[in-house]
Homo-oligomer: A and B are copies of this chain.
Amino acid sequence: MTHPLQLTPDGRLRHLLTVEGLSRPLLTDILDQAERYAGQPSSNRGSSGSRGLKVPLLHGKTVVNLFFEASTRTRMTFELAAKRLSADVLNLQIAASSTSKGETLLDTLKTMEAMQVDMFVIRHEASGAAHFFAQHAAPEVAILNAGDGRHAHPTQALLDMFTIRRHRPDFENLTVAIVGDILHSRVARSDIHALRILGAKEIRVVGPRTLIPAGIEAMGVTVHNDIDSGLADADVVILLRLQKERMVGAFLPSTGEFHRDFGLTKARLETLKPDVLVMHPGPINRGVEIEGDVAYGERSLILEQVEHGIAVRMAVMGMILGDEGAAA
């Protein structure tokens, strides 16, 4: 399935709604653009390492963060990315309940379009919300999906790929294990698409049966309900955040049991490849998906992921809205 909705007729990025259907050259181009904004790899960086770079690329453009689901941290990354490109940024937090009907969403979109907003960064609890906005957006307005329901979180996947590539550009050799609540995770879906586009050797999903959707093998992954087999020989381990509201009940007996069975403990880490890369989209639940010592240990790339998230979001915004961008 392709998503031409997010591409211009000549194949450039017009919206970013999902990783699914992006070509390898386009996805690679995004990562290459992000290199312009990311600092030197931290191992090469002196103690006076340069901080965030500010460029005038989007001066005069307006970006609105339209969040129907609260996420201070994700909102910050988009706000920082836009401000470092010199765009004007407005933050709107809207209770999803008050705009649940499609036509009310449309009124909101049309009204803000009329205010000459150039880009909407949209987070919504409903899968498909970003597509809905993109389908109805005026030609000069771009939509950036910041997470829609269980569906997609494309900038998270792009920053994950960027982070992996900095350490292991040889995707064709990589075995990647995605661990935890696959069922509810838009991050898992987007990461799987991105890893397949980049040609990862093997993609595994690892978790309890209740948290792995039936038929996910069709996405080109193997399923492991046992963590030890799931992590054996893995080059990259991507842990997913367990949402608190789903931690206990129908899906899970207890968070303690989850940690015992699927958490990345220090002891478990020592059984893995010595150069394994440990990732997590954050914020972490210490003692659930991951032990605190592991999260800030030497194999962890969690803070690099955050840092790269700004660069990747700058790249996407710049490609869509910049002078040579599709919507410029």
Residues in A lying within 8 Å of B, measured CB to CB? 39, 47-49, 51-54, 59-62, 72-73, 76-77, 79-80, 83-84, 88, 90, 92, 94, 103, 107, 110-116, 118, 139-140, 282-284, 286, 292, 296, 303-304, 306-307, 309-310
Contact = CB atoms under 8 A, between A and B. Distances in A.
A111 to B, nearest CB: 5
A77 B292 contact: no
Contacts of A309: 115
A114 B51 contact: no
Given A116-B307, A303-B114, A72 B94 contact: yes
B140 A51 contact: yes
B103 A80 contact: no
A52 B107 CA distance: 20
Task: State how many copies of this chain the complex holds.
Answer: 3
A interface: dominant SS? mixed
Contacts of A49: 140
Contact of A114 (B114, B140, B304): B304
A53 B48 contact: no
Contact of A92 (B72, B83, B88, B90): B72
B53 A111 contact: no
Contacts of A283: 107, 111
A41 to B, nearest CB: 14
Nearest to A45: B140
A90 B88 CA distance: 13
A107 B284 contact: yes
